[in-house]
Structure 1
Amino acid sequence: MAAVAVVMGVLTACLAIPFAGLAGVAAKDVSQGMVNLPESLEAKDLSQKTTIYDVNGNPIASLYDQNRINVPLTSISRPMVKAIVAIEDYRFYDHGALDLKGTLRAFITNQANGGAVQGGSSITQQMVKQTLLYQAETPEEKAAATEETYARKIRELRYAIAFEKNHTKDWILERYLNIAYFGDGAFGVQSAARHFFSKNAKDLNLLESATLAGLVKNPVGYDPLDNPERAESRRNVVLDRLAQLNVMTEKKAERLKKRPIGKTLDVEVAPNGCQQSRAPFFCDYVVNWLMKDPVLGDTPKERERTLKNGGLQIHTTVDLDMQKAADDSVSSHVFPTDQAIGGLAMVEPGTGDVRALAQSRPMGKDKAAGQTYLNYVVPKAYGDANGFQAGSTFKAFVLASAINQGIPLSTSINAPQTMHFDDSDFETCDGPYAGDGKGWDPQNSTGYGTYNLYSGTQNSVNTFFAQLETRTGMCEPLELAKAMGVDVPPAQQVPSWILGVSDVDPLTMAQAYATFAARGLHCDPRPVTQVLDSSGNTLKDFPSTCEQVMPGATADAVNDILRGVMEGGFGSALQIDKPSAGKTGTTNDGRSVWFVGYTPKLAAAAMIAGANGEGQWLELEGQTIGGQYIYSASGSGFAGPVWGDAMAAISAKLPYENFQSPAGDEIAGVLTTVPDVTGLSPEDATAQIQAAGFTAADGGQVNSTTEAGLVASTSPEVGTQLSSGDTVTYYTSTGYVPPSKGGKGKGKGRGGKGRG
């Protein structure tokens, strides 16, 4: 009785003067430091898991330290509320911070059992304990939050009184249900409902509610997955308590108790991180991309904490249909344990939206199974991989610069099998290139002869492009490449850079070629469109970042040339049912092959590079990759099918849109078809001929059955391919055809030059 009197004195003091005089209480384990406690406890926001969504709003990944989804009390079913109150603190709405009857009963029990501090806590006190434990940042604070002492009890009571004073009972119960741990990694009632029953907290029935309510006392011991018998027994205790309090009848409680707990469960696993995502390496790219954005925090540590605990809603650009097509294609052409890496990136022209990222090695740590955490399809800053040499795909930057400088597309250059160039043959931004004095000796692997910009590109002739580079100089192509997102390091800015000697990744090449598809508009790759906070408020919008880096007509001319790769060049076997263009790439040492292709609506870069599990680069020739032995490595033969299969799978999803023909009056030497102007007036015919990029000339009259004064024919004739700027002569009709010799009346009409 003396001990009871001491405790009652302490409790009375707490109730009467809760924030003063505690140091004078005669209890051995109430420390002198109690008087230094703040008068109230700040309830910091609870951590919540972050969800990453695809472009259509479907979740693709979750990130969390604690699997928790906060919900308001109105989103928790009434049976759940009744069950937790019944078993934990049935007079919760009737008493203050302290349940005197319950505390006294627990104290007497504890004294009879040796003084251990157990039971008797109100829901408010339990919420305080959980809050102190949740907000503890040091081992000492965590120990203080769980120590079995009266000092902890009184400390909790002090804060509980403050909470009761400053908040409603509903607020306290809501926080308690959101902070409580329900076992097996589920924090808060919403995550517990999803995990154990695959439903939301607002839909929990009485039996499910009794199960969850029983878990908070001992989440590990009563775990229904690991200890189903104990969990069922505890659930039945809750049901009995509900019957005692007349929440349900005893008859109903007995009926519910007969239901095996295993038959009530419908477990839903909440994946954490990117590895289990349907787009693991895209997810990884998103995380690393956001980790560099100060909107999530000033330091990397703060940003990581925000990502894993902020309950963010991250809306991304990935299209799961395209992602599946990319995954299926890459995995069918390069196996995880092959001595090679396959990769594919898809980017939308005009926005920079990253639609898919796929690679042949799955995410994971099992090297024997070919797994890796390196993201080979994105820049090193976001994936920790160095990239791969891209071969002749770099020639497009010199091609675009040549067109931009006014070099006619019809320009003919004799390209022998081998050539020697002196260093001084190449001009840099600072003057003649100053190399090692040995010069450069490129050689062809695709034939030799005389080529124009169309045929030289479509056959990817090295000595043709080396000569073209002497005409364009190195400065403008390198600056254009940088503007298109390909930044060649200074040490690699040598004449041979156009053969793809720099290391790049599929995403970088896809977004670069997307610039051509978007008619010269370059957009930085964008994996995220918007980030919302846990309340649904916009934390940051991420608009497309785009810049016109070349005239639209220049891009049109590049597209006109590169679509020839698909329509008769090395990519002719990769035709899809939409207009497309592309460029192959193969390194001289045969260690990597590329194909970068695009439609006006989607650009994709496919790559295969020889590499073993130790990170050593290998030649592709002589290896079996994807079940196919490689005798001779080529971009069209091996990377091309990766691109082709993926694009064919999603081609139906892409809207039909053709490339815009290059304007002959803006681009010199465009190969254009002579239009049919027969029957038009000279004025209209002149307009159409000029619109096609030609110079129109009046050739005078010819006898023809065409109405007098209208165009009867042209020279060259309709359908002939000419370079822009060439002259097309039109002939107007006399409306009369002389009679043929020996006959009467008008004979068949006869055109003049070029025949109508």
Structure 2
Amino acid sequence: MTSPRTDRLPASRLLPHLGVMLAVAAVLGVVVAGLAIPFAGVAGIGARNLSRSMNDLPATLETGDLSQRTRIVDSQGKLITTLYDENRITRPLSQISRNMTQALVSIEDYRFYQHGAIDLKGTLRAFVTNQANSGVVQGGSSITQQLVKMTLVAQAKASGDANAIKAATEDSYARKIKELRYAIAMEQTHSKDWILERYLNAAYFGDGSYGVQAAAKHYFNVNANKLSLTQAATLAGLVKNPTGYDPTNSPDRALARRNVVLDRMEQLHVITAKQGEEAKASPLGLDVQPARNGCVNSTAPFFCDYVLNWLLKSGQLPGKTDKERMEFLQSGGLTIKTSLDLRYQKAADDSVAAHVAPTDQAIGALAMVEPGTGAVRALAQSRPMGRNKKTGQTYLNYVVPQEYGDSNGFQAGSTFKLFVLASAIEYNGFPLHQQINSPAQKDIPESNYKGCPGDGNRVGVWQVHNSTTSGQKDAYSGTRESVNTFFAQLEEVTGLCNPYKMAQSMGLQLTDPKHERVPTFTLGVPSVSPLEMAGAYATVAARGLHCDSRPVSEILDSAGKPIKKYGKSCQQVMAQGTADGVNDILRGVQEPGGFGGDAGLGLSVPSAAKTGTINNNMTVWYDGYTPTLATAAMIAGANSKGEWITLNGQHLKGGYVVTAHGSTTAGPMWGDAMHTIQQWLPNEDFVKPDASVINGIQVGVPYVAGMSISHAKDVLRAAGFKVTVSGKVYSSYPTGTVAYTNPSGKAAKGSPITLYPSAGPQPQPKKKKKRRHSASPAVTFPGFNFGNGNGNGRGHHGH
């Protein structure tokens, strides 16, 4: 007896697939006016192979969540831009117009709710009708089959596997069989309403719009639940050929296709003949809304760019790589709530655009940070985002730190004096009214500047020059007038370590102490970004509380539920009294007599500021703030090759620059933005510094008058003071001895004491001999002579 064949499928497994195989034959076009494949063939080897192929497929198709676009909004919920790989906003069937569901079912699968996974009757009818019309008029695939195909194609593209993409899109029997098997499984596990809802949200409607909600907003500026009959028919007609019937490119073809849909609805009695005629007589009625995808087309391009880079580098998003994290942002249907204030952003954009053109040989930038929270309120720069270098476009974000924008930063000039001033008050108790003799030029041994442990000894002499005023200066006048020799000597008091660490604690990303922690630190040698400087000045505005700059407050999922909150991260980096002292000093820059006050940059609300200009006037700064907003303004000379150049002699949009300065070049750009914004700022004032801060911590200055210069130096140095010698003055002390010191009595320990050598007593002018007259003597005053003259008692004007 011959042993039974092991490759024969049992009847219980073969028979359920016979109906499907007949449908397959129909779909493949082999059922025409009879069976091209005899039943005997179906029941034979071909049937067994087909059935095995279908049995080898998984029982269900994993659909997963549809890719949805992400919204980035400002602090008030206003849209900044959207992110997506597919522009889609999912909506439940209950929020989709009945007109839309009826139109789609009518044209794509009118028996959708009557048949199973495939519609054999509809497939045969469509095949015959299409052949009779010498072209495709009616679709043969069911809505379920189409949804399966969409899903498989989307999954293949997401995998990035070229072979998978080819298999999902090729015109082959294997693909059609696979789709049929999955369609059967989908109908077994999901309701018809679920399938239709999924289809409407998954389908591509052309011009970058995925899903009916995105399409409704894009083409007609309405939500999916408000689609009219004509609008719904237009969209339903697109799914067959989204590119060919795209109404933005081919309105005539779109109109004709819409009318085909309306005819079909009328034929199926979904609408009346009258409704159909009226609808077909209507125009398309487009109200196209441009889709914004990514940062280039956003209302705040470089702020948006900062948001994305900040999120990608935060380490708090799903995914192991930036690519995976970006895919999450583009497809998760998220709402990213940012700290941006669009009112501030517009003021910043308008001001930068008014002062520096994109093609100028310069870069203008503004950054705004809220004190006490670190919330970044606006970022603006003169060169717009894009690739066209001829029009000044760039993708470099010059406003943010290198970590987030790829710019190497800019030297900040005298705005760095803030860190020396704050350190002198915080660590040395420097009295705010203590004077330091600040000549126009001063040579200071670099060995006078103590660094951090391990920095090593310094050699050489630093020759410092003033570019403003000179003479006796205290913290108020020395800062208001930005006197270099004052701060060079104040830095002798503080050393280099404390100001450097102070700057780091206030948000500056200083990482190269060998080249940054140097005597010229107080003149802003390190390169930084406007955002870092805005954050640093926000620290003193918040009375010494530094909060890390952050552009995002919260991320919501597609259902509107919070999935991540980004709270403020703050630390008290200096005593409140120190910050109060700094604020009291810097507000003088904004008042009459200060650089800002002279330039008319003061605000109606209390404000403070510091100017900055680097060597050769290549970069100028104006860092100003109120108790509730800190803004850093910067303009840097840069040619088309990306080389830094002087601003002197440059033609900027704001006018011709003879000599660039912080107050006169960057200041007006700061002022134009802040004068607009001040209307939204609370009228808060700075806290006045306590007397203990103003007086500082003082020690007695030894009395050395009458001592020799060398002895006096030894005495003062032994008491912990720095000593400099000025020019000779007349005094009652012998020539060559000390006449007096400045300061005297008390001073901050370690501060510079100036010795004034005696030139001896001031020579007395020789007395002129009095002229004697025969008449009564006259009394002489400069310019007049009173006497009896001609005997009439009247005088005359002398020369």
Q: TM-score, normalised by structure 1?
A: 0.83
* 249-258 vs 608-617, which moves further: 249-258
Aligned-partner residue type, residue 618 of structure 1: I
- For 1:112-131, list aligned pairs within 5 A: 119-131=139-151
Distance 2:138 2:148 in 1: 16
For residue 276 of structure 1, what is the aligned residue in structure 2?
A: 297
How far is 1:382 from its partner? 0.8
Identify unmatched segments of 5+ residues in structure 2.
1-14, 25-41, 698-745, 749-799
- Cα deviation per residue 1:460-505 (whole Å; 9 max; x = unaligned)? 1111111111111111111111000113321221111110011111
Please say if 1:442 is aligned against 2:464: yes
Q: Of the candidates 335, 344, 349, which is equivalent to residue 327 of structure 1? A: 349
Please say if 1:571 is aligned against 2:580: no
Residue 427 of structure 1: SS of its match in structure 2? Answer: coil
For residue 367 of structure 2, what is the aligned residue in structure 1?
A: 345
How far is 1:218 from its partner? 1.1
- Cα deviation per residue 1:564-593 (whole Å; 9 max; x = unaligned)? 111121111211101110000000221000
Aligned-partner residue type, residue 558 of structure 1: V
Distance 1:322 1:115, change over 3 A: closer
For residue 600 of structure 1, what is the aligned residue in structure 2?
A: 627
- Cα deviation per residue 1:530-563 (whole Å; 9 max; x = unaligned)? 0112222222100011000001010000000000
For residue 473 of structure 1, what is the aligned residue in structure 2?
A: 495
Distance 1:366 1:349 in 2: 36
Q: Of the candidates 667, 670, 681, which is equivalent to residue 643 of structure 1? A: 670
For residue 655 of structure 2, what is the aligned residue in structure 1?
A: 628
Distance 1:571 1:247 in 2: 73
* 183-192 vs 230-239, which moves further: 230-239
Kindly indicate whether the alpha-carbon contact (under 8 Å) linking 1:592 and 1:607 is maintained by their aligned counterparts in 2.
Answer: yes
For residue 65 of structure 1, what is the aligned residue in structure 2?
A: 85
- Cα deviation per residue 1:198-234 (whole Å; 9 max; x = unaligned)? 1110000111111111111111121222222222221
Distance 1:637 1:174 in 2: 62
For residue 39 of structure 1, what is the aligned residue in structure 2?
A: 59
- Cα deviation per residue 1:248-280 (whole Å; 9 max; x = unaligned)? 11122122112233xx21111111111121111
Aligned-partner residue type, residue 306 of structure 2: Y
Q: Of the candidates 325, 331, 340, which is equivalent to residue 303 of structure 1? A: 325
For residue 747 of structure 1, what is the aligned residue in structure 2?
A: none
Please say if 1:11 is aligned against 2:25: no
Residue 648 of structure 1: SS of its match in structure 2? Answer: helix
- For 1:314-393, list aligned pairs within 5 A: 314-393=336-415
Kindly indicate whether the alpha-carbon contact (under 8 Å) linking 2:218 and 2:289 is maintained by their aligned counterparts in 1.
Answer: yes
Q: Of the candidates 485, 495, 505, which is equivalent to residue 463 of structure 1? A: 485
- Cα deviation per residue 1:396-432 (whole Å; 9 max; x = unaligned)? 1010111112111111111111112222201112177
How far is 1:668 from its partner? 2.1
Kindly indicate whether the alpha-carbon contact (under 8 Å) linking 1:665 and 1:724 is maintained by their aligned counterparts in 2.
Answer: no
Please say if 1:611 is aligned against 2:638: yes
How far is 1:25 from its partner? 6.3
Q: Of the candidates 248, 255, 267, which is equivalent to residue 244 of structure 1? A: 267
Q: How many residues were matched structurally?
A: 660
Distance 1:121 1:239, change over 3 A: same
Distance 1:457 1:191 in 2: 57
Distance 1:14 1:234, change over 3 A: closer
Distance 1:116 1:201 in 2: 28
For residue 656 of structure 1, what is the aligned residue in structure 2?
A: 683
Please say if 1:102 is aligned against 2:122: yes
Distance 2:456 2:653 in 1: 43
Distance 2:616 2:49 in 1: 76
- Computing the radius of gyration from Cα coordinates, the structure with the larger value is 2
Residue 632 of structure 2: SS of its match in structure 1? Answer: strand
Kindly indicate whether the alpha-carbon contact (under 8 Å) linking 2:67 and 2:86 is maintained by their aligned counterparts in 1.
Answer: yes
Distance 1:607 1:236, change over 3 A: same
- For 1:599-748, list aligned pairs within 5 A: 599-668=626-695
For residue 171 of structure 1, what is the aligned residue in structure 2?
A: 194
How far is 1:627 from its partner? 4.6
- For 1:253-268, list aligned pairs within 5 A: 253-261=276-284, 264-268=285-289
Residue 342 of structure 1: SS of its match in structure 2? Answer: strand
Please say if 1:514 is aligned against 2:523: no
How far is 1:152 from its partner? 2.2
Aligned-partner residue type, residue 365 of structure 1: R
Distance 1:605 1:467 in 2: 26
Distance 2:420 2:336 in 1: 39
Q: Of the candidates 617, 639, 647, which is equivalent to residue 590 of structure 1? A: 617
Distance 1:122 1:180 in 2: 14
Kindly indicate whether the alpha-carbon contact (under 8 Å) linking 1:523 and 1:546 is maintained by their aligned counterparts in 2.
Answer: yes
Kindly indicate whether the alpha-carbon contact (under 8 Å) linking 1:410 and 1:669 is maintained by their aligned counterparts in 2.
Answer: no
Distance 1:115 1:39, change over 3 A: farther
Distance 1:321 1:630 in 2: 29
Distance 2:357 2:51 in 1: 65
How far is 1:108 from its partner? 5.8
Q: Of the candidates 551, 567, 581, which is equivalent to residue 543 of structure 1? A: 567
Kindly indicate whether the alpha-carbon contact (under 8 Å) linking 2:69 and 2:83 is maintained by their aligned counterparts in 1.
Answer: yes
Distance 2:232 2:151 in 1: 23
How far is 1:116 from its partner? 11
How far is 1:527 from its partner? 0.4
For residue 76 of structure 1, what is the aligned residue in structure 2?
A: 96
How far is 1:526 from its partner? 1.1
Aligned-partner residue type, residue 653 of structure 1: W
How far is 1:147 from its partner? 2.5
Identify unmatched segments of 5+ residues in structure 1.
1-5, 16-21, 671-722, 726-756
Distance 1:114 1:634, change over 3 A: closer
- Cα deviation per residue 1:116-163 (whole Å; 9 max; x = unaligned)? 999421111110011111111322222222222333222111111111
- Cα deviation per residue 1:81-116 (whole Å; 9 max; x = unaligned)? 111111111111111112121233346678999999
Distance 1:7 1:165 in 2: 14
Q: Of the candidates 174, 191, 194, which is equivalent to residue 217 of structure 2? A: 194
- Cα deviation per residue 1:432-461 (whole Å; 9 max; x = unaligned)? 7523x2231111111211111111111111
Distance 2:607 2:654 in 1: 28
Residue 368 of structure 2: SS of its match in structure 1? Answer: strand
Distance 1:316 1:236, change over 3 A: same
Distance 1:607 1:312, change over 3 A: same
* 458-467 vs 230-239, which moves further: 230-239
Distance 1:178 1:351 in 2: 40
Residue 419 of structure 1: SS of its match in structure 2? Answer: strand
Residue 613 of structure 1: SS of its match in structure 2? Answer: coil
Greater than 6 Å deviation, 4+ residue runs: 22-25, 109-118
Distance 1:23 1:624 in 2: 87
Distance 1:95 1:667 in 2: 88
Residue 71 of structure 1: SS of its match in structure 2? Answer: coil
Q: Of the candidates 383, 395, 402, which is equivalent to residue 417 of structure 2? A: 395
Distance 1:107 1:637 in 2: 78
How far is 1:28 from its partner? 12
For residue 718 of structure 1, what is the aligned residue in structure 2?
A: none
Task: Report % sequence identity.
Answer: 59
Distance 1:513 1:25, change over 3 A: farther
Kindly indicate whether the alpha-carbon contact (under 8 Å) linking 1:117 and 1:148 is maintained by their aligned counterparts in 2.
Answer: no
For residue 311 of structure 2, what is the aligned residue in structure 1?
A: 290
Kindly indicate whether the alpha-carbon contact (under 8 Å) linking 1:668 and 1:724 is maintained by their aligned counterparts in 2.
Answer: no
Distance 1:110 1:141, change over 3 A: farther
